[in-house]
Amino acid sequence: MITQATLFALFIGSVKQSEQSNNPVFTESITPGSGNPPWQWDVSNIRGFAGGAIFQFVSLGGDGTQARLEWSAIEDSDWTKAGGCEGIFDLRIFNNVDPDIIYPDFQISLRYLDCAGYTVFEGQTSGGSPLPPGDAGPYRFTAPLFAGGLPGDLDMEFDGGGGASGRGIVTGVTSAAAAWTESGTATLRIQDGTRPYSDIPSVPINLRQLNYTTIIWFDNQTAVDPTTINGSPSGDSYTWLSSDERVVISNGGGTRVEEQITGSGVEAGTDIDFNLIITDGTRPESHIPCTLKARHVTDPINIPYTASSGSETVEVTGDFVTVWNFGTGVFSGIESVLSFNGGVGNTASISWGDDALINDDSGTLTFTIQPNDASAPSCTVLVNVNISVTTNIVDTTKPMVIDCTFEIV
Amino acid sequence: MKREKINRKQFLVLIKATALMMVPGIYEACSSSYDDVPLSPKHDVNVKVVFSEAMNKASVEAHSRLVVLESDVVPVNVDWLTDSTAVLHFGKFNTDDVSQFRIDTGATDLEGNILDPFIKNFDA
């Protein structure tokens, strides 16, 4: 005979959304005497609840050894009581022939989840708990049933590894069929130790995806394309945080579907593994592993004055293995006629033709750069360009000035 | 003694100028203003250039420039001392205004080979 039960309800803040949909069934191991009437179950002396909670057992028939627990009129303040509500009543099982079976102080624990559902991201490995701050659990969480537009092969894993030591944190979401834009509902099953489980039905679930989990940050960049969530938030907006303070997330306002991610104080060549912590309204956080790769583009680019046409290499420093896509370049503040040779490769170059350079000229070059496999957002980088005089290159195929003097009369 | 004649118009101008000079304020103002603006010392600026090859003279003359106050000045005339040595005369300038001499692309030798573009700063 089990003499304890934990019941769950779903709240958003102080507003109850639903109570668990299943009624726990209890079995009395002692059977009535042969030929005697079936057991009857009687609840009395309910106490420990602030409101007028009512509990009763409904026999499942036969000899009455199985009965279903039902309840009503549990006050919201009892569900959400800080630290949990522990109520008790006395249970008497009888048939007026056999000796009564008495269970004094049958314990009923009330617990609740405080969330509006789950928004889960492809690749997330951790997140927030739907339990209120005062409830450390642990419980065993599973999601045995999905409905609505969610893919049929969806699987949500929770912390505790399927055991009883979890707090409802989603540690993995897998689906081969998902487009990661689907929405639907899940039945959330929670079990407190060996007590009967509780099913919270119709918990909203949204699937989402980030377009990038690798960010390249150039310490001389002026802009970066945003990292984007592929769907609107369920609430007013998403919130974004980084687990590493060196990773900087701009707050673009609005629904914050997209944010620009940069770095601060990170030496070029450094890779930082961090978690993007994204929260959708009042739903638990999603922790998505990401990497910030700090890199540097040659700056300044010094072009020695030479007679011939030539080029200077524009390259990314760091331990990169990426083939870059160098986009269109724009020169500013420089009079010399230069060309930025973008394209795909490990480097790009600046080139010029005969007599295109002006001595002591300088300016800037701005261009976009992105891994060619588009595995990270495109960045806009600004580098300085300086042209300086060096000794003319000796080219025996060309005439040259071998001496020049000013004569002031 | 030969006396020069002056006509009536010249006489009136002379009288007016004399009268104005007798007004102390105007005289001092004119005198002070004149003293504060010294004459700019201008010099003939010539550039002697020695080439490695016998040059196409017209092409050298056409592509030689002196940069004065950020403007390009072309030679007034050129003396060719040899087929590969020229003195280019640019005229009179305040040397503080002269910054650079250069020969742009276009200058060639007798075989049509293009000269390395050449730049020399005046203060170098």
Which CATH number fits the domain that encloses residue A323?
Answer: 2.60.40.10
Do A290 and A160 have their domain in common?
yes
Q: Within its chain, how far is the Cα of A383 from the centroid?
A: 35
Do B115 and B54 have their domain in common?
yes
φ, ψ of residue A394 in degrees (nearest 5): -75, 120
Do B54 and B33 have their domain in common?
no
- Choosing from A60, A91, A112, the residue where a domain stops is A112
A322-360: pLDDT as tens digits: 789 999 899 999 988 889 988 998 888 888 876 677 778
Do B1 and B17 have their domain in common?
yes
**More confident of the two residues A156 and B120:** A156
DSSP bridge partners of A317: A296
AA letter at A75: E
CB B45 within 8 A of CB B77: no
Q: What angle do CA B22, B27, B28 make, to 5 degrees?
A: 135
pLDDT value for B34: 46
B80 touches chain A (CB under 8 A): no
Do B47 and B12 have their domain in common?
no
Do B58 and B21 have their domain in common?
no
Do A183 and A285 have their domain in common?
yes
pLDDT value for A346: 86
A390 vs B contacts (CB less than 8 Å): none
Do A107 and A120 have their domain in common?
no
Q: Is the per-residue pLDDT at B15 higher than 50?
A: no
pLDDT value for A214: 96
User: What is the domain range of residue B4?
Assistant: 1-37
Pairing assessment for the beta strands A286-297 and A301-305 based on DSSP bridges: unpaired
pLDDT value for A354: 64
Distance CA B47, CA A145 (A): 93
Distance CA A28, CA A106 (A): 14
Do A310 and A282 have their domain in common?
no
B113 touches chain A (CB under 8 A): yes
Rounded to the nearest integer, the mean pLDDT of chain A is: 92
Do B113 and B54 have their domain in common?
yes
Q: What is the CATH number of the domain that holds B91?
A: 2.60.40
pLDDT value for A5: 96
Pairing assessment for the beta strands B64-68 and B71-73 based on DSSP bridges: antiparallel
Query: Confidence class of residue A309 from pLDDT cuts 50, 70 and 90?
Result: low
User: How many CB atoms neighbour CB A279 within 10 A?
Assistant: 19
Rg from Cα positions in chain B:
25
* Number of residues that this document lists for chain A: 409
pLDDT value for A161: 84
Do A169 and A316 have their domain in common?
no
B-facing residues of A in 317-356 (CB < 8 A) are 354-355
The verdict on residue A24 lying in a domain is yes
Do A24 and A93 have their domain in common?
yes
* Across A202-231, average pLDDT: 96
pLDDT value for A405: 93
CB contact under 8 A, B44 and A399: no
A396 vs B contacts (CB less than 8 Å): none
Residue found by looking up tokens 């503040």 in the block: A333
Closest CB to B45 among A307, A400, A406: A406
pLDDT value for A395: 54
ipTM of this complex: 0.70
With CA atoms as reference, the chain B residue closest to A397 would be B113
A247-266: pLDDT as tens digits: 999 999 999 999 999 999 99
What are A319's two structure tokens?
Answer: 């331990």
CB contact under 8 A, A354 and B87: no
Q: Within its chain, how far is the Cα of B90 from the centroid?
A: 7
B95 vs A contacts (CB less than 8 Å): 408
Q: Is the per-residue pLDDT at A59 higher than 50?
A: yes
Query: Confidence class of residue A28 from pLDDT cuts 50, 70 and 90?
Result: very high
Percent of chain A with pLDDT over 70: 95
The verdict on residue A399 lying in a domain is no
Query: Confidence class of residue A97 from pLDDT cuts 50, 70 and 90?
Result: very high
- What is the 3-state composition of chain A as percent helix, strand, coil, each rounded to the nearest 5? 0, 55, 45
Closest CB to A402 among B52, B95, B101: B52
The verdict on residue A241 lying in a domain is yes
Q: Is the per-residue pLDDT at A183 higher than 70?
A: yes
User: What is the domain range of residue A323?
Assistant: 298-389
Do A217 and A338 have their domain in common?
no
Do B32 and B47 have their domain in common?
no
- Choosing from A92, A112, A132, the residue where a domain stops is A112
User: How many CB atoms neighbour CB A344 within 10 A?
Assistant: 10
Residue B3, C-beta contacts closer than 8 angstroms, at least 6 positions apart: none
Query: Confidence class of residue A109 from pLDDT cuts 50, 70 and 90?
Result: very high
Q: Is the per-residue pLDDT at A373 higher than 70?
A: yes
User: How many CB atoms neighbour CB A409 within 10 A?
Assistant: 8
Query: Confidence class of residue B26 from pLDDT cuts 50, 70 and 90?
Result: very low
Residue found by looking up tokens 């130790």 in the block: A193
**More confident of the two residues A74 and B41:** A74
Do B65 and B78 have their domain in common?
yes
Distance CA A336, CA A102 (A): 99
Three-state secondary structure along A79-130? Answer: HCCCCCEEEEEEEEEECCCCCCEEEEEEEEEEEEEECCCEEEECCCCEECCC
Query: Confidence class of residue A307 from pLDDT cuts 50, 70 and 90?
Result: low
The verdict on residue A405 lying in a domain is no
Do A14 and A45 have their domain in common?
yes
- Choosing from A45, A77, A112, the residue where a domain stops is A112
pLDDT value for A308: 58
**More confident of the two residues A391 and A77:** A77
* Across A57-86, average pLDDT: 95
B100 touches chain A (CB under 8 A): yes
Do B29 and B71 have their domain in common?
no
What are A230's two structure tokens?
Answer: 């592929």
Do B58 and B102 have their domain in common?
yes
CB contact under 8 A, A408 and B45: yes
DSSP letter for A193, please: T
Do B59 and B98 have their domain in common?
yes
Query: Confidence class of residue A37 from pLDDT cuts 50, 70 and 90?
Result: very high
AA letter at A144: P
CA distances from A55 to A26, A92, A146 (A): 14, 13, 30
CB contact under 8 A, B46 and A392: no
CA distance B48 to chain A (A): 5
How many domains does chain A divide into? 3
**More confident of the two residues A187 and A316:** A187
A82 touches chain B (CB under 8 A): no
CB contact under 8 A, B119 and A405: no
Do A141 and A274 have their domain in common?
yes
Do A254 and A332 have their domain in common?
no
* Helix runs in A211-290, H state only: none
Residue found by looking up tokens 């420039």 in the block: B65
A-facing residues of B in 46-65 (CB < 8 A) are 46-53, 55
CB contact under 8 A, A307 and B45: no
With CA atoms as reference, the chain A residue closest to B105 would be A355
The verdict on residue A227 lying in a domain is yes
Lowest mean pLDDT among A48-62, A211-225, A392-406, B92-106: A392-406
The verdict on residue A398 lying in a domain is no
B29-75: pLDDT as tens digits: 444 444 455 566 889 999 999 998 899 999 999 999 999 987 889 99
Do B31 and B46 have their domain in common?
no
pLDDT value for A160: 92
DSSP bridge partners of A297: A316
Distance CA A175, CA A82 (A): 37
Q: Is the per-residue pLDDT at A363 higher than 50?
A: yes
Q: Is the per-residue pLDDT at B11 higher than 90?
A: no
How many domains does chain B divide into? 2
CB contact under 8 A, A407 and B43: no
B103 touches chain A (CB under 8 A): yes
Residue B84, C-beta contacts closer than 8 angstroms, at least 6 positions apart: B50, B51, B52, B53, B54, B55
* Across A137-149, average pLDDT: 95
CA distance A314 to chain B (A): 25
What are A390's two structure tokens?
Answer: 């060096």
The verdict on residue A402 lying in a domain is no
Do A108 and A17 have their domain in common?
yes
What are A304's two structure tokens?
Answer: 């020695």
* Across A84-99, average pLDDT: 96
Q: Within its chain, how far is the Cα of B107 from the centroid?
A: 24
DSSP letter for B105, please: B
pLDDT value for A320: 57
CB contact under 8 A, B116 and A401: yes
pLDDT value for A52: 87
Do A73 and A130 have their domain in common?
no
* Across A121-150, average pLDDT: 95
